[in-house]
Amino acid sequence: MTKTKINWQLSYDIGIAGIALFSFLIVVGSFLDPHAIRLSAPPLAHLLNVLLLLYTIDFFYRLAISRHWQRFLFDNTFDLLSLIPLHPAFAIFRIGRVWRLIRHHHLLWRFGLDGKLSKTVHRFVYSSGFLNLFTASMFILVLSSLMYSIVEKVPYPSALWWAITTATTVGYGDISPATNVGKFIAAFLMIAGVGFIGLLTSTITGFFTSQTTDANKDDFSRLFEKIDQLDHKVDHLQRELNLERKKNRHKK
């Protein structure tokens, strides 16, 4: 790959990541102050629609040139979720594109930030299976809430709130299905969602437990190494002392 092509690719990725970050910040801002930032009102709604169109073109272009489309869809699940036009809040999933930019172009390493913490985060996200479980959990939550919103005829934010409280077994009871299809969706979410949320929780707990165990092993290894060094020094001093005694005897 030529240097010009690399620079063009980096510039393009930065531009798309900028769109993703801007969309993410707008959605977060609307959560913090819904009266000042209204996602469904112009001109912000028109701007978000333009960004959605650009992001959609980018997604399907990358899908078209991908050699393994099944793997592409799985690796870019967050991008796919962010294309759902049902509610502007789905743009929050575009933050994954920013992380992909950082990872693909090794920006942490380029800026000298690729230390122990970043390696631990990378191992937690990719090696522990957390990313796969988190993606599956989010997909189940979004799909269930989307179906629930259509069947029960409730606003999508309310349906998503219902899905989260159901999957986490909190169950406030403020929203409940009234139709048979809605109850079937709820049963699916209870079985699949709770299972994946449980696996996700156990994965997080298992990772940090193993990290603590590894840290304790490292501490013990360093302690034993120090003890060995101390033993060698004591042996050396003992030999020196014996030689000194022998010299004193010969002198006498």
> Per-domain residue ranges for the chain?
1-109, 114-235
Residue 115 has pLDDT above 70, yes or no: no
* Whole-number pLDDT of residue 236: 67
What pLDDT, on the 0 to 100 scale, is given for residue 173?
Answer: 79
Short-list 188, 57, 203, 73, CA closest to 128 = 203
Q: Which of 12-16, 121-125, 128-132, 221-225 has the highest mean pLDDT?
A: 12-16
Q: Is the pLDDT of residue 215 over 60?
A: no
Q: Which of 5-19, 84-98, 100-114 has the lowest mean pLDDT?
A: 100-114
Note the pLDDT of residue 200: 76
pLDDT of the residue at 24: 82
Is the confidence at residue 127, as pLDDT, over 80? no
pTM above 0.85, yes or no: no
- Cα angle 65, 77, 202 (rounded to 5 degrees) comes to 140
The per-residue pLDDT for 78 is 77
Query: What pLDDT shows up at residue 25?
Result: 85
CB neighbours (10 Å) of residue 94? Answer: 25
| pLDDT on residue 111 | 60
Q: Is residue 161's pLDDT more than 80?
A: yes
- Please give the full DSSP string across the chain, using - where no structure is assigned: --HHHHHHHHHHHHHHHHHHHHHHHHHHHHHH-TTT--TTSTTHHHHHHHHHHHHHHHHHHHHHH-S-HHHHHHHTHHHHHTT-TT-GGGGGGGHHHHHHHHHHTTHHHHTT--SHHHHHHHIIIIISSHHHHHHHHHHHHHHHHHHHHHHHT--HHHHHHHHHHHHTT---SSS---SHHHHHHHHHIIIIIHHHHHHHHHHHHHHHHHHHHHHHHHHHHHHHHHHHHHHHHHHHHHHHHHHHHHHHHHH-
Q: What was the pLDDT predicted at 54?
A: 87
The C-alpha atoms of residue 94 and residue 26 are separated, in whole angstroms, by: 12
Q: Is residue 214 scored above 60 in pLDDT?
A: no
Please give the residue that has the higher pLDDT: either 2 or 48.
48
What mean pLDDT do residues 225-246 have?
68
Residue 95 has pLDDT above 80, yes or no: no
Tokens of 188: 């699916």
Q: 223 pLDDT exceeds 70? A: no
| Whole-number pLDDT of residue 249 | 66
Residue 221 has pLDDT above 70, yes or no: no
Tell me what the mean pLDDT of segment 52-70 comes to.
86
**Please, what's the b/e burial string for 23-35 (b: 16 or more CB within 10 A of its CB; e: otherwise)?**
bbebbeebeeeee
pLDDT at site 163 = 87
Determine whether 195 is exposed, middle or buried from the number of CB atoms within 10 Å of its CB (0-12, 13-18, 19+): middle
Q: Which CATH number fits domain 114-235: 3.40.920.10, 1.10.287.70, 3.40.640.10, 3.10.129.10?
A: 1.10.287.70
